[in-house]
Structure 1
Amino acid sequence: MAFFISAATHAQENIAINDLLNEANASTYSHPEQAGKIASYIVSQNESDKIHAQAKLILAKSYYVRGIYNTAIKNALEAKVLAQKTNDEAIKFETLVFAIKLLRILDLETVAEKYTNELITLKKHTKNNELILKIDGKLKQDDALVLLKSGKYLKADKSLKNAASLISKTKDSIAKNEIDIAKFDLLLKSEKQQPKDIALKDFETISTSDFEKIQVLDIIGRQYFHDKEYQKAISGFEDALALSINLPNIQFKNKSLEGLSLSYLALEDTDSFFKYKQQSNLVSTQIVTDKNLATNTVFNFINSYLNDISESKVQQSYTSIYVLGGSLILLILIGVSINYMYTSKAKEYLTIYKYISPKQTDEKPQPKVENIDKSSIIPEETEQMLLQKLSKFEMGKKYTKQEMSIALLASQFDTNTKYLSEVINRHKGKNFNGYINELRINYIIEKLKTDPIYFNYKISYLAEECGFSSHSSFTTVFKSVTGISPTKFMNYLQHQKESA
């Protein structure tokens, strides 16, 4: 790039800078790191606000494509401020649209809506019909993505069609591909059609860059997973993972790793599950940190901006600042909890696997108590006798009787409740109620695993079958024992049986 810097005239320098901008812009979605380097060079030069805004926007996009949202939003907001200083409506439009996209990703809806209103204001003031068409298309696209995110699929479908119709007239290929990808995502979520068939057929025409190919492959992988074609799902996720590492993009890398871990879990390949889940947990920690930093960046940017406006405007803005500040702090807390969510997921998968995996022989003879606790009031011979009777009790199903109580069981064992309670506490690690409840839950789980007819019964029947007096108490105890609700457990178990 030395020959650009040493160009003889200012006019030649401008031509060189514009060429660099075009080159960087063209390679943003295919070679983001290269585009970012070019944009950084342009930013370092003493150029106009318009050139700086364009370079900052390219820099923001290059980090977005790499999945680094904190640096992306920082440059996007700076590009917007620079664009506002110019009279160029096109760069104002581009910086606003991209800032809105990032803010939506970060769930900063309040700020995104503020910028959307600025976009609407720009539309009202411009006399450029082509720009008006672009704004309308982007507003419809943004509306569709918000509806899709909130699960309003019918409305999202309508908005996507309207956006596609408008954007097709602007010849914006990137926006068109974004809408096509959103359509496939909608098909998958609404389960109206098989997006993998469309995506495979039109793969080359839809995905012109690795960034877009990864998204299509992720949708295909998720569809195959939904259809229980786990090997094909793994193939899709592996292809997406390879592209995400090559691009690189940590957000898509994590999605691919998560898809692979779930697919291997479904195939009961625990080694592969742990391998990919461990990698996913590491990457997700980076993502959570980055998103938290990005939220702070937006918060600090707003504070800095408000400090630059007049005192009277600040007074008028106090209410909105408090609301926005509170929302941002809440979002930070939500972001921090995402990491916990990833960890909880892994624990939940392990919990399910523990119960659905083939039962191994773990029946060990009760060890003879060598050292009796000095505080124990039970004779050693009585203690051994009670342990043997408890073992026989566990092999039967008397514990499924609703009337079973410690008093009833003690009478059946020819002992007193004090002795029986102490033996259960010391040898089973829980009180009588906990002991009985765990036996009942394990009993009904075994029934679900071995007799498919139990999937046809209501939860209330299952509760009664294993000895609970109500649906609610069964659900509460089931979750306390297994870590998940009975409905969720049954869905997963049935899913495993169907895919076997």
Structure 2
Amino acid sequence: MKTDFKKTEKKQSKNLVFHQKLWKKTIPILLILLNSVFISGQSGPDFSVLADKAFQKLYQNPDDCINYSLSILISDQNNEHKIVLRNIISQAYAMKGDYVQSVNISSQKDDSDKENLSYFMQLFADYNLADQYQNLDLYNQSQKIISSLLINKKLLNSENIKIKTTVAKLYQLQALNFGINRNYILALENIAKSDSFLTVNNEENTILKIENKIFRAAYLSRQNKLEQAKNLLENALLEAKNTNYSYLEALAYENLARYYFSKEDYQTSIVYLEKGLSEIENLPFNNLKSRIYESLSKCYFALHDDEKHHFYNKLYVDSRTKIDASTKEGIRYIVKLVETYQNKNLEFQRQNESKKFWFLFFIILLIVIGLTIWFLIIKNRNKDLKKQFDFFEKQKKWEKSHAEILIKKESDVIEKTTDKDSNKISKEKEEEILQKLEEFEQSDRFLNKNMSLSTLSAQMEVNTKYLSEVINNHKGKNFNGYINELRINHIAHLLKSNPSYLNYKVSYLAEISGFSSHSAFTTVFKSVTGMSPNVYIQEISKNRAL
């Protein structure tokens, strides 16, 4: 190339005029070619390639994925393409632990063209919403959306490749919802169904299959099928190494480390955790990093290496604090979006009611005018009807005034009834909330440090006032007292049933119980059990010695 350039440079003075003429002729041709390339780059088949590449980048580097997808999104005017790209960008932000941006990019919709979306894109939009709810720990909402979709036989019997892949994602998402609620049998069933829809050999399906193996291994491990889980994880790790997806490899390492931790082989667990961390240390997979930091902290704690335990525990706490804060903001943001949507619907209903009212009023007015004219004609034709007409007029006036009185009374009754109903919870609603509280108590979500009345009400899809009232009436305490008692009962049970917990420091017991401080844990523990954590541990130890 350099030699050719020098030769051209020597001949430049002789060929300058020729090149200028040639360039003038070439410009229009180049513009036409570039235009045709750009247009074809936005066509269906080429977009599929671009979207597939964006999805691959999601598992390589979320920041690269976001930049790449945004560059396509800016130039692409196709609304269906925009939905796909926004979903990928939203998932990238979720992997980073930035749920506010995740919700924000996902909520940007073009409502004007919503009715024109294809069946697949409507399905994809619903999947996106279910995914968003799950990212924000609103598992019940996510589960309801998916359940309503998966009863559609047309959807399940479709041979469309894109629809089948989306159905596989829905089953995978549903498996995660069941896993969170510790229903591992249904979780495994949904993973199997997800695999059955991954029939095409492309990169997206390959990624989903590896993920499913890792998730299946996690649920088998929770059923104490440890060796079966280990074999699956080793197989998934081999497949992940053959790809260029750092996230999948780190996820497989992290789950293998959990296997060795359960075997109390803490050194091997640390080796796998460090391998996983090295894969994503310089990448913004903040959620997965936080889990690895937590596991390393626990391993070093078990090995009595206080220095490294505190080092990784600090990394875990710092990262978890940021992620939890982002989750809270994300929930607030999505609640506002839902409220805005509901308000728009209410305003639309008010406008419809107003239109109906004026329409009925106009019809009634026409009827009244018609009747009046008719009666006037009758009056002129037959004077004998005058008395009847006068009586009718009096009756009409009485009915009108009576109707106004009745309307006013009904309005007052409705207002009073509404006031009463708004302040009184129905028996059915009360039983529904009690059932949801029972399910909540069976899970370990109360161990979340950020669990609040608003967060729980959002997860249960109930009014905060109703939830607070049911807890006060049936649990005999306010929300904080209710949550704290669940946490204390949980840790007290662990201390009784698992001897290893008797060796843990009180500060660590406070942390895993969901308390923000050692002192708060000690105070609440004593108020619930009647003794301090140290005294309780001593009593348990004495009883075991006997």
TM-score category, normalised to shorter length: 0.5 to 0.7
Contiguous gaps of at least 5 residues in structure 1: 356-472, 495-500
- 1:196 is aligned to 2:230: yes
Paired residues of 1:123 and 1:135 also in contact (CA < 8 A): no
- 1:291 is aligned to 2:303: no
Distance 1:111 1:128 in 2: 25
CA-CA distance at 1:259 after TM superposition: 0.5
Aligned match of 1:247 in 268, 283, 294?
283
Higher helix share: 2
- What does the per-residue CA deviation read over 1:207-254, in whole Å, with 9 as the maximum and x for residues that have no partner? 642111122111111111110100111111112222332222111111
In structure 1, give the amino acid aligned to 2:35.
A
In structure 1, give the amino acid aligned to 2:172.
Q
CA-CA distance at 1:188 after TM superposition: 1.5
Aligned match of 1:143 in 165, 171, 174?
174
In structure 2, give the amino acid aligned to 1:164.
D
Partner of 2:120: 90
- What does the per-residue CA deviation read over 1:4-53, in whole Å, with 9 as the maximum and x for residues that have no partner? 9x943562462586664443233221132112112222333361212322
Partner of 1:442: none
Bigger Rg over Cα: 2
- Give the aligned length: 362
1:260-299, aligned counterparts within 5 Å?
260-299=296-335
Aligned match of 1:234 in 262, 267, 270?
270
Aligned match of 2:87 in 41, 57, 62?
57
SS in 2 for 1:258: helix
- What does the per-residue CA deviation read over 1:61-104, in whole Å, with 9 as the maximum and x for residues that have no partner? 22233332332233233369698454223333333323312312
Distance 2:105 2:147 in 1: 21
1:335-346, aligned counterparts within 5 Å?
none
CA-CA distance at 1:284 after TM superposition: 1.1
Greater mean alpha carbon deviation, residues 172-181 or residues 185-194: 172-181
Paired residues of 1:56 and 1:79 also in contact (CA < 8 A): no
- 1:166 is aligned to 2:197: yes
- 1:8 is aligned to 2:35: yes
CA-CA distance at 1:269 after TM superposition: 0.8
Contiguous gaps of at least 5 residues in structure 2: 1-29, 353-417, 434-451, 465-478, 507-525
Distance 2:502 2:235 in 1: 39
Aligned match of 1:303 in 339, 355, 369?
339
Paired residues of 1:83 and 1:95 also in contact (CA < 8 A): no
Distance 1:123 1:36 in 2: 35
- What does the per-residue CA deviation read over 1:82-136, in whole Å, with 9 as the maximum and x for residues that have no partner? 9845422333333332331231232213432453266358765898433664565
In structure 2, give the amino acid aligned to 1:189.
R
Distance 1:83 1:328 in 2: 33
* Structure-2 change in CA distance of 1:106 and 1:219 (3 Å): same
Paired residues of 2:296 and 2:309 also in contact (CA < 8 A): yes
1:10-25, aligned counterparts within 5 Å?
11-12=39-40, 14=42, 20-25=50-55
- What does the per-residue CA deviation read over 1:384-424, in whole Å, with 9 as the maximum and x for residues that have no partner? xxxxxxxxxxxxxxxxxxxxxxxxxxxxxxxxxxxxxxxxx
In structure 1, give the amino acid aligned to 2:335.
F
Partner of 1:175: 208
In structure 2, give the amino acid aligned to 1:180.
K
* Structure-2 change in CA distance of 1:315 and 1:168 (3 Å): farther
Distance 1:485 1:95 in 2: 56
In structure 1, give the amino acid aligned to 2:42.
N
Distance 1:282 1:483 in 2: 31
* Structure-2 change in CA distance of 1:330 and 1:19 (3 Å): same
Aligned match of 1:205 in 239, 248, 259?
239
| Aligned residues with identical type, % of pairs | 18
In structure 2, give the amino acid aligned to 1:108.
L
Paired residues of 2:213 and 2:232 also in contact (CA < 8 A): no
Distance 2:314 2:208 in 1: 35
Partner of 2:70: 40
TM-score, normalised relative to structure 2: 0.55
Partner of 1:403: none
Distance 2:153 2:106 in 1: 20
* Structure-2 change in CA distance of 1:83 and 1:41 (3 Å): farther
Distance 1:123 1:239 in 2: 44
Distance 1:201 1:94 in 2: 30
Alignment RMSD (CA, Å):
4.6
- What does the per-residue CA deviation read over 1:144-199, in whole Å, with 9 as the maximum and x for residues that have no partner? 32222211223332332233223346862233222211111012211113223432
Distance 1:99 1:192 in 2: 33
